[in-house]
Chains A and B, each alone.
Chain A
């Protein structure tokens, strides 16, 4: 039975795990925010889409895992396969994002139309949502901690509620990222962000391929 105490625990666990969540999502979130156009509202929109999709990824993963009865005991081989695919997809999304920004830059002016794949842009490709969803299902350490606790609850609804409050707790730590909208955008900032995305994508691709080849890396 879900008690207010358990729900408070979920929120507290989220607040306590926030820095780790921030560190896990930072390599994806920071460059993609910097590649966006400047402005608090625009960055807040991007961040909202990212977090909403990440939340969806959390819930989906929790529900599927609960349904299969393997929330915390997914066997090593399929786990590596699953997270290998997720990491390769994440690398692909980052590369696509970096390329798309370059493409947009080449076809328009240097400042205002640099990036065109966020949810608020006219191309309508939900770049932020894709990145958020993929980071949501990539099983970061705080997610595992929440999963272990949620697995002990009586029903899938209670587990999902636990995850939702856990997510709210972690989200507090992401709010300062909106402040990146105040960083002035010019060719230097967006180019640095795109180059960083490529580097990070290469790293995720390596991780993904290593996992697909059956090698355990960094606790997965």
Chain B
């Protein structure tokens, strides 16, 4: 993954000294070691080695963010690793627990379907009307097949979301990394003209899925449209309906997560389809962190607009000095700006105030969560692979 050549231009900020960068990395280093210290002795050393590698990986990436002043470039390594290793660990778990990647109806009836955060917006209306959850999983924090019950996942999501807003989609989502990796492969986009109205796609999918979930009393997105079923658990196809569902999953995954990111260099599933992303955009209003454009420095060269993987910058928004509410706070636009006009910002403060302080505060929150949540998923995936060799 050659990242250097693909970022339009590195940020002009002078690198920090190694000593100062190390000092700034210390809190994350302590946190990482705390998260991945495993005092228990197992006969198999794979989990310990995986934890150690993950801790070092997360610490080094944060150090490089501090040292170079770049965010997107280093975050992407973490995010792609998360996207690739999540299916590895998850598939291993379902194979051990269930013996197949297929999710049979018996498992659903028993309430053992693993819960991810994507159906959260689909559960709200049915719960409000009927006081019941339209998901065949367990609500207990330790429930469900993989030990990730609805209460635990929803609690984690809410806590993180209130702080980071849609930053969840760049630092926690274990699906987005695959397409971000795909988008980073080609040196330049082959498909450059994208109708900006496709940006409304996630909202349309959200509206349709919320309404259908209420009407059908099932998480309609999980049943019919989730592209990531193709790399996690598919419907145990015992009839034509199951075949149709799996066909849709595979086609959407191949199109939105593989082919279109390769052609456009954008996170097309996130930008044009994901209903959870649209829902998450609302929480950019509650987050204290955002990305602003200092109009006194902006040329405008539009490099930020080109770099944005979700088309969250338009000519009009740049004139207004802000991103659209779909901004995932990945940092691509900040890194791309040659004049440091695109800056991290804390609401209520001056745009041209202390952007690096805003960046640090944001990154401490985001990376602490990335270490805890994404890091544990990376470690599990790594352990699964290492288990073969160690």
Q: Using CB atoms and an 8 Å cutoff, list the residues of chain A in contact with chain B.
A: 19, 23-24, 26-27, 30-31, 34, 187-188, 191-196, 198-200, 203, 206, 210, 215, 217-218
Contact = CB atoms under 8 A, between A and B. Distances in A.
Interface of A is mostly: helix
B216 A218 contact: yes
Contacts of B212: 27, 200, 203
B72 to A, nearest CB: 27
A214 B326 CA distance: 43
B281 to A, nearest CB: 12
B163 interface: no
A196 B241 contact: no
Interface in B295-339: none
A27 to B, nearest CB: 4
B207 A24 contact: no
B214 interface: yes
B201 A195 contact: yes
Nearest to B214: A23
Contacts of B129: 19, 23
Contact of A195 (B200, B211, B241): B200
B157 interface: no
Contacts of B41: none
Nearest to A191: B200
B197 interface: yes
Contacts of B201: 195
B252 to A, nearest CB: 12
Contact of B240 (A187, A198, A215): A215
Given A188-B203, A218-B216, 15 more contacts: A19-B130, A23-B217, A26-B211, A31-B208, A191-B204, A192-B207, A193-B204, A194-B204, A195-B201, A195-B205, A199-B204, A203-B212, A203-B224, A210-B241, A215-B240
A27 B211 contact: yes
Contacts of A193: 204, 207
Contacts of B216: 218
B194 interface: no
Nearest to A28: B211
A195 B209 CA distance: 12
Given A196-B207, A199-B208, A217-B241, A24 B200 contact: no
A217 to B, nearest CB: 7
Contact of B207 (A23, A30, A203, A218): A30
Among all A-B residue pairs, the 8 with the closest Cβ atoms: A195-B204, A199-B208, A27-B211, A196-B207, A196-B208, A192-B203, A196-B204, A23-B214
Contacts of B244: 206
Nearest to A206: B244
Candidate in A23, A187, A200 with the most chain B CB atoms within 10 angstroms? A23
Candidate in B130, B203, B204, B217 with the most chain A CB atoms within 10 angstroms? B204
Nearest to B240: A215
A200 B203 CA distance: 13
Candidate in B130, B214, B241 with the most chain A CB atoms within 10 angstroms? B214
Interface of B: 129-130, 197, 200-201, 203-205, 207-208, 211-212, 214-217, 224, 240-241, 244
B240 A200 contact: no
Contacts of B241: 210, 215, 217
Nearest to B128: A19
A217 B241 CA distance: 9
A199 B212 CA distance: 10
A189 B207 CA distance: 11
Contacts of A24: 215
A20 to B, nearest CB: 9
B215 to A, nearest CB: 5
B197 A200 contact: no
Given A19-B129, A188-B200, A203-B212, A31 B240 contact: no
A38 B220 CA distance: 29
A203 B207 CA distance: 14
B197 A23 contact: no
Nearest to B207: A196
Contacts of B203: 188, 192, 195
Contacts of A210: 241
B215 A23 contact: yes
23 contacts: A23-B129, A23-B217, A26-B211, A27-B211, A27-B212, A27-B215, A187-B197, A188-B200, A191-B197, A191-B204, A192-B204, A193-B204, A195-B200, A195-B208, A196-B204, A196-B207, A198-B204, A199-B204, A199-B208, A200-B208, A200-B212, A206-B244, A210-B241
Nearest to B126: A23
A128 B134 CA distance: 30
A55 B207 CA distance: 26
Contacts of A19: 129-130
Contacts of A187: 197
A131 to B, nearest CB: 14
Contacts of B240: 215
